[in-house]
Amino acid sequence: MTIKAGDILSAREAILLAEAEAVDLSPPIEIPPIPPEAHPNFTRDQKKHVELIENIQKLKRERKAIILAHNYMPKDIQDIADVVGDSLLLAQKGKESNATVLVEASVRFMQDILAVMKKPHQTVLAPDLGALCSLAAHAKPEKVLEWKEAYPDGIVISYVNTDIRIKAISDYCCASANSPKVIRYATIHHPDVPILFLPDVYLGLYAADILKKAGESIDRLWLMMGACHVHDRIKPSHVEEELRKNPGAAVVAHSECSCVSSCIQKIASGKTPEALMQIRSTQGMIDFVRNTPSDTVIMATEVGNIYPIEKAIPGKRIIPASKEAICAFMKQNTLEKVYASLRDLKYEITVDRELAERARIPIEKMLAIV
Ligand code: SF4
């Protein structure tokens, strides 16, 4: 039988196939073109830019609004945002906020979380409805329901990059920042039962490593063959090439990258000290860059994530493992669309009440286990 993206396999089989790149993990949804205003090298006419910022600030005051922006956003959106962070931080800050309008420049699965957690007086807005996620699109509820039927005592841990319908049938939800803690929590509190982790097979590989380090067998772990098309394309060869050009540089890789396995092996073999190579979450990369003794850091992540790190830690030289690692979905958000969103109160994100009640349970766990 041919294994396809979205299939659920035992962790051992999934890891072998992922390492051999034997399954086509291409995005199951169309990748939109990047608007010129969101391109990393775009510069706007200065006068227009100032006008746009002033208009956004004015509307923010009038609407009692805040802007939440993911780390992968274009720089100009990050510069005017009230909060910049990864999916976990945005969910936490969105939940805490009492603002009347929450504009979140991110992708749909994150905006859905705000819509589930929002207070009755709040409105959640997305600047662009085309901002989806290729990783989330790999996970189909039917596949998860089939697995649950086969393993009725099993538990499901879904990564935050999933559709709200997947969260509604999951026991736990986690973000890259707290995936090790959630995975450990779930394995300790549910001994001996099958565990399905989805949808990212590379993060699953990292999850398996966490279990092994805790002295647990990975025999009860199941993984879905899913991947983010941006991180999947950051290969071990990209990291090797940059290391050759920058001897002595440190390396930090996001746990969704396809170079994760080779990084884990290097660290485990003792060839590279942990101070110079680690797997980290979007947010956790900041701490690594701050603490590593090396002045140069190769970052295997979406290129937008370099900007908040350069801002937070000036003086370190940050090199992307791949300059091509740009998420076109995230880049559907532009400053112009953030302005239009605030001006016209579009596009409002809502979640069906019954679905929201079920999805709220694993989301609350994600916010609690940090
Ligand atoms: S970078 Fe990948 S995982 Fe993140 S939103 Fe884009 S497609 Fe999804």
Res 1: pLDDT: 77
Kindly state if the Cβ of 225 falls inside 6 Å of ligand 1: no
For residue 318, the 8-state DSSP code is E
Ligand 1 atom closest to the CA of 256, numbered from 1: 3
The percentage of the chain sitting over the pLDDT mark of 70, rounded to a whole number, equals 100
Query: Residue 228: CB within 6 Å of ligand 1?
Result: yes
- Fold of the domain built from segment(s) 8-29+134-227: Rossmann fold (3.40.50)
CA of 328, closest atom in ligand 1: 6
The arrangement of secondary structure in 231-320, i.e. its CATH architecture, is 3-Layer(aba) Sandwich (3.40)
Cα 172 to ligand 1 centroid, rounded to whole Å: 20
**Which pLDDT value is given to residue 256?**
87
For the chain, the domains span 8-29+134-227, 36-132+329-351, 231-320
Q: Is 175 in the pocket of ligand 1 (CB under 6 A)?
A: no
pLDDT of residue 303: 94
- Is residue 210's pLDDT more than 90? no
Whether the upstream peptide bond of residue 199 has omega within 30° of 0, thus cis, is yes
**How remote is the CA of residue 231 from the centroid of ligand 1, in Å?**
8
CA of 142 to the centre of ligand 1 (A): 22
Please compute the mean of the pLDDT values over residues 54-72 and round it to a whole number.
Answer: 98
Q: Using a pLDDT cut of 90, give the percent of the chain over it.
A: 87
Look at residue 283 in the predicted model and tell me its pLDDT: 82
179 in ligand 1 pocket by Cβ < 6 Å? no
| Shared fold status for 8-29+134-227 and 36-132+329-351 | yes
Instruction: Compute, in angstroms, the gap from residue 28 CA to the centroid of ligand 1.
Output: 13
Q: Does ligand 1 have an atom closer than 6 angstroms to the CB of 230?
A: yes
Q: What is the pLDDT of residues 282-304, one digit of tens each?
A: 888 999 999 999 999 999 999 99
Q: What is the reported pLDDT for 282?
A: 85
Give me ligand 1 centre to Cα 330, in Å.
7
CA of 47 to the centre of ligand 1 (A): 33
Q: State mean pLDDT over 339-348.
A: 98
CATH of span 36-132+329-351: 3.40.50.10800
